[in-house]
């Protein structure tokens, strides 16, 4: 997969996207769109999509297939998805008509304080790269607990059976593509300093060659043992002890000059971990119910608030620039409120109901001029006193790694899963558990690393014992009169809510079909002075948006000029579902249907 996408191809894909019912997708070929019956899946990877399809064809449901796909991504996309990470999942249950979530976000060890990332010698936060490649950055992994909770609540197959496709891929190997090579290459210097990471991901001291076969027998053995022993092996058992030891004593080459700080995780932290099932966020937009991931993720609240603001603005749908202006201004305001108010609700007072209220959105919308962008950053509103004011002080948008992954699955019964899984950075903390074949996350760098100065507004995203860092992941399911219509999500760190928003607006307001809505060039406004965009978006809209006061510049990445790598699905009519992956970004994704339509 190319790290620098040729966006002329994206533009061509949009122009040529008369894809309502495309040619059938074969399970042995990568294709970005699949339409058919009996269920469908879209992921970033063909092997992962095949794993899900295998489960669906065998009578498994959407949750079963999502777990099988995620486990396979842990093999083929090990730098972004692994059992050393976590994520958020939104599920629609066709039997009950309910939308529910499973929160597998990592937690900070109990010994974590708000100055966990402050260098005592300087009183300042550690340089970001030093914080990432350390035991300090590793949160208690949530993925296995999330799989276990999701399967117990909604699945129909045991975890061990769902790990079999991933075990086969790990043993037999898969063909290294450009994206895998590049992700290893960008990490080569730090991977070389971590002994088990170097051994696994830099064979012969170099990133795996494109076209070579990559095998991970250690991970296959780990999955087998996990299938036999169950999740308690990680959460308080022997594997948990190995994870805690890796965090406390990072396996650094004694000859390396790199200082890799130890973390504070213990086996007791792992034993205390629980995946949660909080109620999803929900807003109404254009007669549809839009459900998302609640705090500790800011994805559902940010998408929901922005949609409410856009609804209050009522831009002229016949004018794409007017819709984009409303989208950018609504995003700006929603991010100001996200940064000020959203954190882990177990430890912070998050005014979620107020943030998602129509009254609050109307007060924020009155700050948007129809022909002039407000200078950014804008101040947050006051959910306790909604109105046409912005009395607060703007908080910055902390850096979040772009390197997540997202998948969607629907089954024959109409159950749906939208699932973000992540390590945070490409390669997470860089720490591989010796002999186990998987990397550990660096999710704790999603916290605000520097505590605020005395007298400054409270930051709800400071580190704390057992706390979940704020995320932007936004797996989203949209219902139409109680039945699923869309599911969508993407990687991209803090750009995730804007990408989900733009895909929804492309589909619902600008009249694109779903493949075109997903392929269209993107822009992101996260309460920053500039709007960042992909090259094709700049070529098409920069001059027109500049006339409205928007300063549009190329998205710096990584990868430069590329925002997200989305997956989505749409029910075209009862039983007929269309799954959509990226046609070009990051090398393109893979969509498959159980019984392809002809």
**Catalytic residue IDs:** 404
Task: Report the candidate in 408, 397, 388, 402 with the shortest Cα–Cα distance to residue 91.
Answer: 408
Q: Which residue has the tokens 């591989």?
A: 432
Dihedral sign for Cα atoms in the order 508, 511, 513, 517: negative
The CA–CA distances, whole Å, from 112 to 135, 137, 138, 184, 266 equal 12, 11, 11, 30, 11
Cβ proximity of 138 and 444 under 8 Å: yes
| Distance between CA atoms of residues 71 and 147, nearest Å | 9
Distance of CA 561 to the CA centre of its chain: 18
Spell out the residues 6+ positions from residue 188 whose beta carbon is closer than 8 angstroms to its own. Answer: 202, 206, 207
Task: Report the candidate in 22, 10, 9 with the shortest Cα–Cα distance to residue 576.
Answer: 22
Helix (H, G, I), strand (E, B) or coil at 553: strand
| Distance between CA atoms of residues 481 and 426, nearest Å | 39
Q: What is the dihedral of CA 162, 164, 169, 172, to 10 degrees?
A: 180
Helix (H, G, I), strand (E, B) or coil at 83: coil
Strand partners, 523: 533
The two three-digit tokens of residue 482, written as one number: 């109680």
Cβ proximity of 435 and 225 under 8 Å: no
């Amino acid at each position: 997969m190319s790290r620098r996408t040729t966006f002329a191809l994206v533009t061509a894909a949009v122009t040529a996207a008369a894809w309502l019912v495309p040619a059938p997708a074969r399970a042995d070929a990568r294709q970005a769109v699949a339409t058919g019956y009996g269920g469908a899946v879209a992921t970033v990877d063909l092997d992962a999509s095949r794993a899900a399809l295998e489960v669906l064809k065998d009578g498994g449901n959407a949750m079963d297939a999502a777990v099988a796909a995620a486990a396979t991504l842990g093999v083929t996309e090990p730098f972004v998805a692994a059992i050393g990470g976590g994520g958020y999942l939104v599920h629609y249950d066709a039997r009950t008509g309910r939308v529910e979530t499973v929160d597998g976000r990592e937690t900070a060890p109990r010994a974590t304080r708000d100055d966990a990332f402050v260098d005592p010698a300087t009183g300042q936060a550690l340089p970001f790269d030093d914080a990432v490649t350390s035991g300090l950055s590793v949160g208690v992994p949530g993925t296995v607990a999330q799989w276990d909770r999701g399967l117990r609540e909604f699945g129909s197959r045991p975890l061990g059976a769902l790990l079999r496709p991933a075990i086969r891929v790990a043993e037999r190997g898969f063909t290294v593509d450009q994206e895998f090579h590049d992700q290893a290459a960008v990490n080569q210097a730090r991977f070389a300093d971590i002994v088990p990471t170097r051994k696994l991901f830099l064979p012969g001291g170099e990133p795996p060659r494109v076209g070579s076969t990559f095998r991970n027998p250690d991970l296959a053995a780990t999955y087998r043992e996990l299938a036999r022993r169950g999740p308690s092996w990680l959460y308080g058992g022997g594997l948990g002890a190995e994870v805690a030891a890796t965090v406390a004593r990072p396996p650094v080459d004694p000859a390396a000059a790199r200082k890799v700080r130890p973390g504070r995780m213990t086996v007791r932290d792992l034993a205390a971990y629980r995946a949660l099932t909080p109620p999803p966020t929900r807003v109404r937009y254009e007669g549809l119910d839009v459900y998302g991931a609640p705090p500790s993720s800011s994805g559902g609240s940010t998408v929901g608030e922005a949609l409410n603001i856009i609804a209050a603005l009522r831009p002229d749908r016949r004018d794409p620039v007017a819709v984009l202006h409303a989208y950018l201004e609504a995003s700006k305001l929603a991010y100001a409120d996200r940064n000020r108010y959203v954190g882990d609700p177990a430890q912070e007072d998050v005014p979620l109901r107020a943030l998602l209220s129509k009254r609050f959105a109307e007060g924020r919308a009155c700050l948007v001029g129809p022909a002039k962008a407000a200078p950014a950053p804008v101040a947050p509103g006051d959910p306790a006193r909604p109105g046409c004011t912005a009395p607060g002080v703007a908080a910055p948008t902390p850096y979040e790694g772009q390197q997540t992954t997202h998948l969607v699955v629907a089954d024959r019964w109409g159950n749906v899963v939208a699932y973000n899984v992540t390590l945070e950075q490409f390669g997470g903390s860089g720490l591989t558990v010796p002999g186990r074949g998987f990397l550990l996350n660096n999710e704790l760098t999603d916290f605000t690393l520097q505590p605020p100065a005395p007298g400054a507004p409270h930051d709800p995203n400071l580190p704390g014992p057992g706390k979940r860092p704020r995320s932007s992941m936004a797996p989203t399911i949209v219902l139409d009169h109680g039945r699923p219509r869309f599911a969508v999500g993407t990687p991209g760190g803090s750009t995730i809510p804007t990408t989900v928003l733009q895909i929804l607006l492309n589909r619902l307001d600008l009249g694109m079909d779903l493949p075109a809505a997903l392929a269209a060039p993107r822009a992101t406004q996260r309460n920053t002075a500039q709007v960042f965009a992909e090259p094709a978006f700049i070529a098409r809209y920069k001059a027109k948006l500049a006339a409205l006061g928007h300063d549009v510049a190329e998205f710096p990445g990584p990868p430069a000029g590329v925002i997200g790598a989305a997956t989505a699905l749409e029910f075209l009519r009862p039983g007929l579902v269309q799954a959509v992956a990226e046609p070009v970004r990051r090398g393109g994704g893979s969509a498959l249907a159980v019984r392809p339509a002809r």
